[in-house]
Structure 1
Amino acid sequence: MTASPLSTPGDSLSRMRTIVPHLATAEDMQQCEELLGAIDPLVDFAASVEAQAILATFLLESREGTRGQNVARAFGIYRQMLSTDLRHPLPEAWEAAVIGIANCLIAEPNASLDAYEAAVRLLDQLVEHLRGGDPERLAVALGSYAQLLQSAHTGDRDENLARALALLQEAIAGLGDGERYPMRWSRAHHNLGTLYASLRLGDRSQNVDDAIRALGVALEWRPRNIDPVGRARTLRALASLLPEWSGADSYDEALVSAEACAREADEIAGVDPRAAPRPAAWGLLAGKQTALNGDLDDLLGTEPEAARARLELEIAHHRSVVGALSPDRERLQWAEWSGGLGRLLTRLAHVDHSAEAGNEAYDRLRQAIYAVPAASSPRLARDLYRAAGELGHQYALWDISYPAYSSALSISNFLFDEVATPDSRRQELVEARGFAQFAAYGAARVGNAEEAIRLAEASRSRSLIETMAANAFLAGHAPPEVRESLMTASSRVAALETELRSIEERDPRAVMRKMHRRLAEAVGADPEWIKHRLTDPGALSTNVIEDYVRVTPQLRAARTALRQALQAARDGPAGARVESLDAQGIRAVAASIGRPLVYLMATTWGSVALIVPPSADIVTLRFDDATSGFTRALLHASEDASYERSANRGDVQELTRALPPIIDALAGAVIHPLANRLMEMGHDRAILVPLGTLGQLPLHAAAPQGFSLGYATSARALQAVLLSRTCGDRRSLLAVGNPRRTDEPSLPLATAEVRVIAGMRQKWSTASLFLGGEVRAQALASEAASVTHLHFAGHGIFRPFEPLESALLLADQDSLSLADLLAGKVSFASARLAVMCACRSANVGDQVLPDEMLGLPTGMLLAGVPGVVGTMWPVEERASAIFSVRFYEELFSCDDPLAAVAATQRWLRDASAEALTACVEAMRKSLVPSDEAVEKALSRLWRDLASRSPDERPFGAPVYWAAFAYVGA
């Protein structure tokens, strides 16, 4: 546009209004600046403000010039506009400036946190001002607000996305349908689709399906002849998601649809250059992801030539983007794409065995890390450190992998504290999975054993750290004001989590996720593989999101208050009673239990054991043949005999085939060398703290004769429970047997088991016995606080994908779950031992996060029980009953439950049919006249054993004796 020398500012302003912002040229922007200089704001304030707004919009939308500089100039103009009192004289100009500020921050991730928070406050004011007015203007404000929340680099990301989702749904509801505002309607649905695609929580298949549904609506209202640019953007978004779509008849069909979308978008761009993809410098608006967080694991199983071709294509693309970005003006974008390039080069070095690619990968990642202060962009910094850790681990460069993973872990701890809900906290842990283990392994390899055990301990039960710390102070007789503060803060967190669960019960998506987890548990699969989804989530979804957004900030504030209360307690007079768990603190725990703690972990380079003896230097042992591939092979073995599957299902025949080779392999590669070293050090028993997949294997069953191995969830959990332990001669028993259920078969031998144990009158100062319909949580809670020993013989459930719902099943529909134990519904203030003869009662953890150690043993420890005996798979009723009776005989002779478990296992393994027959005969003497069903069950067992050869060992197979494990101090 060339202005006439005779044109007035009004004429020029009129011409500027006709220019589409994203088509503005450098000349247009220059003339707009000249126009601004020609308008006297004292004479025509409104015209001056309008010219500023037009120039800022040109700068923000135009593809000419340097993107970073344009955004910075636009941001300055909008700030200047807002520095004057625009809201009342020129409300639409104020509205444009607020939205413009938000759009600048969306496009400029380098902006300060203060600028972001100021924009949020302005948007809150604007949205409140527009509600009840023009729905289109409100939709514009809500859309900008939602995108700003999506682009935030700090804070609770999941809460931000939930708030953004609520805003977009409000915008769509206000617009009504597409007839009146087709452009705004289509844009709102496009933004809703991209938001669904970015959600971390929930089932990925459901999120993708919701995203494709919203993008489909957007595409319908973006015809090629009216909105070619918008249509091309929506087509590209669909092309990126369709390969994941579970709604396609086949994967090939999904790929064909994706290719068709991409092809049409390219055709539109060929005719209309405005529809070309935006460059990476446009930040969030570019819609293109780097390889920094992409899943590259599938390359490991791809033919080298195919992997190389794919990598080279992506590397070329990343190089072009990095070359177009400035490390000064677009610092975070440059660092993110440089980090993605470094990660791709790391994989290329693996495929090609190329030192050159590896060296360049290191240089790229190092430069990117230096460019990103962790305080301003913690997630990006964490991801860059993770990529550097991957590089160091791949090349066995421990002086690189150890500090990189350690830094990533520190940042992930900060991010973990920022989020509020259990699902968000779990997701942060998923994204930090392996950091502590690989950092610990790297520290061990460079000879820093003390740092290695600190890092290994740091990975354990992170979601329960606050609970463990609070329990430690409360158990340690803290001052009244400290106890009151902690109890108030803990109760507030628990109440809000309960409210959040009640909200989720109204969420169709949450109900679907629960169904997925239950199906996955039944078939032993990953819930993500189950692609069922909701095609219509129902009208309740909006209310659920609003309630979620209401409760989440309160929960985050409550967690902050709990952390502050814990810090105040640490700084107070009781603080010395809770040791910090560095190497010195872990040594103190080992000294308290009087036996070594052994941290054991497997990596691609082999396993390492970190031995922390009660009173000596830390010892590091390496087992280079016991790699993570070795442990995975033991878990999954063959199609014919998978330990993981058979243990989950309780398949006795498959377990019988799977266990012997697993035990032999563990013995030869890890356990016997470890036991030999410990015995050289003067120890015949130890407590294992296994990290990762190693913790899912029956390591204790591989111990040599005369050596005992138990487990600990973490040293911190042991520390918390040991603070209040007092030893004495008094032994009191709470025995629970065969709770009456309509949904589970009766266990008559469990009744015999607890009658025998409770009948050992000379050994118990008191013994309470609950059977059948008497076994209820309220009754147990009233007895539990005063007993030293709990014995439970009945049914249990272990939920690997919903660990908080793992439970001991009580009478009728009553139960005692891990969630109940963590909430303090039952306290075992005087307890020394809990024996849980129930299915999989020794199992811990969710399969995705094995180091979280979420299971009934953890709950018992936090409820005050320092030692737990449980089972790692469903055990045959006869073996369980005989084991339990013999266990107490061993326990009374040695007063060490760990040694008693090992001795009982060996006895059960080697016991002859003749010896077992005598044992059953003795059990019959404890029955009472009403035990008719029990008498029949014992008689059947007696006849079976008596019919065998006297020397036969009926329970010699590991499936019978190896299931029992000891967890605790």
Structure 2
Amino acid sequence: MNAQRARAAEEWLGWPPIPRPPLRFHARLAAVGRALADYVDGDASARRRIAATLDKVLADPHFGACAPEFRLAVVTRAGVAHNWCGVAETNQAELHRARELLTDGLRIASAHSPDAARLHYTLASTVHVLYQFTSDPNLLTEALSHARRGVACAGDDPRLAAQCRAGLASVLQTSFRVCGSATVLAEAVEHAQWSVEVGGRTTLGHRFRYVLADVLTHRYDAYGSLDDLNRAIALLRKAAESRDYVMAPTTGNAFHGALGGLLRRLYLRIRDRAVLDEAVELAADAVGDDDSRADPVALTNLGNVLLARYHDYRDPDDLLRAVDLQLKTINARQAGDWQLASGHNNAGNALTEAWRVSGDDRLADLAVTHYRTALELTADNAPELASRAYNLGTVLQARSAGVDRELLVEAAAAYGDAVRHGLDTSLEWALAAAVRWGDSAVGRGSWEEACEAYTGGLKATERLFRIQLLREDKETWLADSQGLPTEAAYALFRAGRREDAVLALETGRSLLLSEALEEERADLGRLDTGHADLVDAYRRAVTALDQAMHGGTEPSGLRRCREAVDEAITNIRAVTGYERFLARPDIAEVHKAVPPGAVVVYIAAAGPAGVALAVDGGGQISAAELPAATSSAVRRRADALLDARRSLHTGSGTWKGVLDAVTRWAWSAVVAPVLPIIGDAEEVIIVPSGTLAMLPLHAAWRPGRDGSGTRHYLLDERTVRYVPNARALEVTRRLAARTADDRLVVVADPQPTSWQPIGYARAEAAWAQRWFAASQLLHGTDADREAVVSALSGAQVHHFICHGRAQTDQPLNSALILADDQELTLREILTLRPSHPGTGARARLTVLSACDTDRPGTSLPDEVISLPSGLIQAGVAGVVASQWAVRSEAVSLLMARFYQLWRSTDTEPAAALRAAQRWLRDTTNREKVQDLAPALDPPTEDGSLEGLVRGLQLRDPDARPYLHPSDWAALSYHGS
């Protein structure tokens, strides 16, 4: 029975039997077998018995005369046993003994044999641990050499090869932490992935998964791919299904602490309390009931998790315990321990939070000392340098209270180091440091320094964005960068760098939309003639990626599709004339996107003030500071509009007053300073940043100059339309030029719904249909979701007369309400986009004559996630949408005039909407009847056209009932 247990333990470890042991050693080797079985089953004391008994075999005077195969097996086992003792007991003497024995074994083993592979693998592990204890770079070099030799000697044995590859991946990961080389990290991932794929089903598969999870975690640290973090968590969950008392002598589960740490990291990105609770439970389980016996890694993991929970839920016991655990971690580590720097950094984090709570400056000074020590112990190119420099900068900035110049300068230097290093090794911390550094520089009036900081943050954001594969992951990182393009633009403006300010706003916002529009920017027409193969490869790759994203493909599959697209783009860029194919727009491309007779105005509200940048098609950029348009001032006005808009449901009369106040402020704070820089352009195309997109700037007004109480609106000066950025303007112009506008579909008052019926829906539908030879009406029960989606693809003009529901906190759930309360959500609209350029349905115009269809999300204001932007992404050139509810008769009259002007005169849709709004506002009832009368000939059979006019004829002919902007300004034009 004992022999069977011993052999089972050896097979579990992947050890071959000892060949032909001499009779004199049978008893001792049997004792070793029993101890090995006990150790594998969880008896931690057995490892000492294994090492001591094997040492007696080695000391036997007859051992040297034994067969080489026997001596090699014993020496190898003895080396492994002393390795176990050294690792478990943090005993360097044991590790050196293991190194000596394993080196002796290499003198016996045949070169390039499986035995040599096992020796090199264990030697690499042993020397690697010695490096971790001492930080001697020569040891790391030696460990890497043995690890590579182990892989080379492993031969065709898949389990042994997987083990050696996993060992090499671990050493390479440590090398990456020292040198920060992306090539080293990529190789580590490759080897770890191979070990799981080949050896994942073996008895040591859980160890291979652990190594891959660890390597992927470091890649997440470096580049911020949530796919890597989620994969690492999934690998550790799978690994935790196995027990391994060699890795974790107390519990047999070496994965709970690491898994708890990763779940903390995930919580910091998604803020799901259930994830945090699980992280605390697992980290506490890894520590156990006795801190003094716990591994330092487990201690620091639990401290980090408790500190994260304290940040959000403020239980003082969590903070006190976190401080205690982090200080115990440092005391548990020896000088030279490669993780000592991490311990000092984590102690600094806990002490910083304790200082903020207690106000005891001694705690802050102690935190600074720990952070400085951590940085002194961190290699110059280590990925962790960025986060540790950020932490030092943060506490120094706070400690300075904004007045200690010396501390502020040191904080700025620390932030600068974090940004510069983080752009190569840790994008997450580069972004965080850039924001802090930029804000600090602005506070000191150091504009060039602020420019360097913020532009570094924009680079980090773009790289993080490109790395993510899923939209939700992209949004998670974008949440950290909101407001950054605006702050960067203002700093660049103050530094006199207008072109750079424009590009900061152009390339730093609406990234989700811009990425989706990239294929529309791909002008492949000229390339198709001589390089059809490249065009076909690009289109196939884009199609495959689109299908993968919409088909629920796993992240690994998405990654391969993304790489195929990137490869196709690289190949096209090698063609003369296509060097900038799908590259980030430069300033020349921004100027080129401006239509004749128009000016594009970027308007941004930063912390200190706002800035407007007017770009024309001739290469000129004019700029104006907006002192009153600070980010906080704009946010207050946007919030006031949202609050007053909600009050409409309760019958409150505050809406008109709030709208008047906000639009009056918008004139003085935004429009008045902008007018001088737009010259005599007939059309103003506004790119509003952040929460400015929530203000109806076209309705900004000032009192009339004649003192009569009249108002003068921006709409009276120029045609106004909105675009997310110049890339969207370029794409929508191209779509508008090549898309017909002769087929209309109208969705009118879908029924049944739980919403109120829409007045004048039949009349408004009839006025829209009046101008199209081919039209389709989906009214009432006909307007269900399936019928509407089908009809959209067959028409180039869409007109919705229905209710809308805006969810500013979850904008992808904003929706148009159809029959049976079915919803056509923004999330679904985004999937209507054709798979690649030149295919699928396009639309010239979509009119959303429904309330709440132009209210962008508040969680990512820089992304302008709304129904208009979603429709542009889906292939619509122009969108008319409503920011608030309007009286049915008013909007129906407005739409009647809009279609009359657009379809019967040579007027572009945006100009037609402006003229219709002024007409609704300024004309009397008599004038409205006269202007609409030509469209009543010939009359309709059901009288639907006449019904709208008949109501006007029954009222005071000289009245102007729609003077207030609440009736005419809700609708705005987006796109081209």
User: Which TM-score applies when normalising by structure 1?
Assistant: 0.77
Map 1:77-96; keep pairs closer than 5 Å.
78-79=146-147, 82=150, 85-86=153-154, 95=163
In structure 2, distance between residues paired with 1:954 and 1:842:
24
1:837 pairs with 2:861: no
Match of 2:617 among 605, 611, 614: 614
> Is residue 178 of structure 2 the alignment partner of residue 110 of structure 1?
yes
Q: Secondary structure at the match of 1:620?
A: strand
* 2:762 is the counterpart of 1:710: no
In 1, Cα distance between equivalents of 2:518 and 2:589: 14
User: In structure 2, what residue type is equivalent to 1:205?
Assistant: R
Distance in 1 of aligned mates of 2:385 and 2:842: 59
Q: Secondary structure at the match of 2:685?
A: strand
Could you tell me which of 593, 615, 626 is aligned with 1:589? 593
User: Over residues 586-609 of structure 1, what are the superposed CA-to-partner deviations in whole Å (9 max), with x where a residue is unaligned?
Assistant: 22221x353100011011121111
Q: Is 1:255 matched up with 2:265?
A: no
Instruction: Spell out, residue by residue over 1:499-548, the C-alpha distance to the aligned partner (whole angstroms, 9 max, x if none).
Output: 32xxxxxxxxxxxxxxxxxxxxxxxxxxxxxxxxxxxxxxxxxxxxxxxx
Write the letter of the residue equivalent to 1:669: A
Distance change >3 Å, CA 130–CA 862, structure 1 → 2: closer
Native 8 Å contact 1:106 1:284 kept in 2: no
Other structure's SS at 1:658 match: helix
Describe the shift of the 1:938–1:399 C-alpha distance in structure 2 as closer, same or farther (beyond 3 A): same
Q: Which residue of 2 aligns with 1:505?
A: none
State the match for 2:412 in structure 1.
362
1:469 to 515, 518, 524: 518
Distance 2:246 2:669 in 1: 70
Which one is further off, 20-29 or 457-466? 20-29
Instruction: String of CA shifts for 1:61-97, please: whole Å, max 9, x gaps.
Output: 5699643637625633642652562578997898478
Match of 1:426 among 472, 475, 479: 475
> Does the Cα contact within 8 Å between 1:602 and 1:694 map onto a contact in 2?
yes
Tell me what 2:466 maps to: 417
Q: Aligned with 1:625: secondary structure?
A: coil
Kept in 1: contact 2:148–2:168 (CA 8 A):
no
Between 137-146 and 865-874, the greater mean CA deviation after superposition: 137-146
Equivalences for 1:121-200 in 2 at 5 Å?
121-127=190-196, 131=200, 133-134=202-203, 137-152=204-219, 153-154=221-222, 157-175=225-243, 183-199=250-266
Q: 3-state DSSP class of the match of 2:463? A: helix
Deviates more, 1:950-959 or 1:439-448: 950-959
Report how far residue 958 of structure 1 moved.
Answer: 3.3
Q: Secondary structure at the match of 2:108?
A: coil
Shift of 1:823: 3.7
Correspondence 1:692 to 2:760? no
Q: Is the 8 A contact 1:740 1:772 kept in 2?
A: yes
Aligned to 1:861: 872
Partner of 1:521: none
Change (3 A) 1:141 1:623: same
Query: Greater shift after overlay, 594-603 or 877-886?
Result: 877-886
Equivalent in the alignment of 1:851: 862
Shift of 1:693: 1.7
The answer on whether the counterparts of 2:132 and 2:338 sit within 8 Å (CA) in structure 1 is: no
Percent identity over the alignment is 22
Amino acid at match of 2:598: R
Q: In structure 2, which of residues 535, 545, 549 is the aligned counterpart of residue 497 of structure 1?
A: 549
Aligned-partner Cα distance in 1 for 2:261–2:558: 27
Distance of 2:255 and 2:285 partners within structure 1: 10
Find the aligned partners of 1:571 and 1:49 in 2 and give their Cα distance.
44
Which runs of structure 2 are paired with 1:167-566 in the superposition (5 Å)? 167-175=235-243, 183-199=250-266, 202-218=270-286, 227=294, 232-233=299-300, 235-243=302-310, 251=313, 254-260=315-321, 263=324, 274=332, 281-282=339-340, 288=346, 306=359, 312=365, 314-323=367-376, 325-328=377-380, 331-349=382-400, 351-367=401-417, 372=421, 374-473=423-522, 479=528, 481=532, 484-500=536-552, 551-566=554-569
* Gap change, CA 1:106 and 1:736, over 3 Å in 2: same
1:958 aligned to 2:965?
yes
Contact 2:750 2:783 in 1 (8 A): yes
Measured in 1, the distance between the counterparts of 2:929 and 2:505 equals 47
Q: Measure, in 2, the Cα distance between the counterparts of 1:426 and 1:867.
A: 25
Are 1:795 and 1:809, in contact at CA under 8 Å, matched by a contact in 2?
yes
Deviation per residue, 1:634-661 (Å, 9 max, x gap): 1234xxx755873998986453342121
SS in 2 for 1:352: coil
Q: How far apart in 2 are the matches of 1:920 and 1:726?
A: 29
Q: CA deviation at 1:59?
A: 5.4
AA aligned to 1:342 is G
Aligned alpha-carbon RMSD (Å): 4.9
Counterpart CA distance in 1 for 2:513 and 2:388 is 36
Letter in 2 for 1:494: D
Contact map agreement 1:642 1:654 (CA 8 A) in 2: no
Between 1:656-665 and 1:740-749, the stretch displaced more is 740-749
Aligned mates of 2:831, 2:115 — CA distance in 1? 63
User: What is the CA distance between 1:563 and its match in structure 2?
Assistant: 3.8
**Matches of 2:444 and 2:584, distance apart in 1:** 33
Q: Hey, what's the Cα distance between the residues in 2 that align with 1:831 and 1:125? A: 48
Change (3 A) 1:77 1:467: closer
Which of 273-282 and 78-87 deviates more? 273-282
Q: How many Å apart are 1:497 and its aligned residue?
A: 1.7
8 Å CA contact 2:223, 2:467 repeated in 1: yes
The alpha carbon displacement at 1:837 in A equals 0.5
1:793 aligns with 2:801: yes
2:233 & 2:550 partners in 1: Cα distance?
A: 23
User: Which moves more between the two structures, 767-776 or 868-877?
Assistant: 767-776
1:665 and 2:715 aligned: no
Deviations 1:754-776, CA, capped at 9 Å, x for gaps: 223333xxx55555444223335
Higher relative contact order (CA 8 A, sep 6+): 1
CA–CA distance in structure 1, aligned partners of residues 347 and 566 of structure 2: 36
Q: Secondary structure of 2:598's partner?
A: coil
State the SS of the aligned residue for 1:212. Answer: helix
**Structure 1: 5+ residue stretches without partners:** 246-250, 501-549
Cα deviation 1:545-566 (Å, max 9, x = unaligned):
xxxxx71121122223334445
Tell me, which stretches of 5 or more residues in structure 2 are unaligned? 1-47, 61-74, 702-711
- CA apart distance, 1:473: 3.9
Q: 1:183 to 1:780 in 2, by over 3 A?
A: same
Call closer, same or farther: CA 1:778–1:27 in 2, change over 3 Å: closer
Equivalences for residues 636-655 of structure 1 within 5 A: 636-637=639-640, 642-643=642-643, 646=646, 653-655=653-655
Q: Which residue of 2 aligns with 1:775?
A: 783
State the partner residue of 1:900.
912
Give the CA deviation at 1:495. Answer: 1.9
Q: 1:50 touches 1:93 (CA, 8 Å); kept in 2?
A: no
Q: Select between 648-657 and 923-932 the one with higher mean Cα deviation.
A: 923-932
Flag the structure with larger Rg. Answer: 2
Contact residue 306 and residue 318 of structure 2 kept, 8 A: yes
Aligned-partner residue type, residue 215 of structure 2: L
| CA distance in structure 1 between the aligned counterparts of 2:777 and 2:497, rounded to whole angstroms | 52
Give the secondary structure class of the aligned counterpart of 1:471.
Answer: helix
Out of 968, 971, 975, the position equivalent to 1:968 is 975
TM-score by length of structure 2 reads: 0.77
The residue type paired with residue 798 of structure 2 is L
Supply the AA of the counterpart residue of 2:585.
L
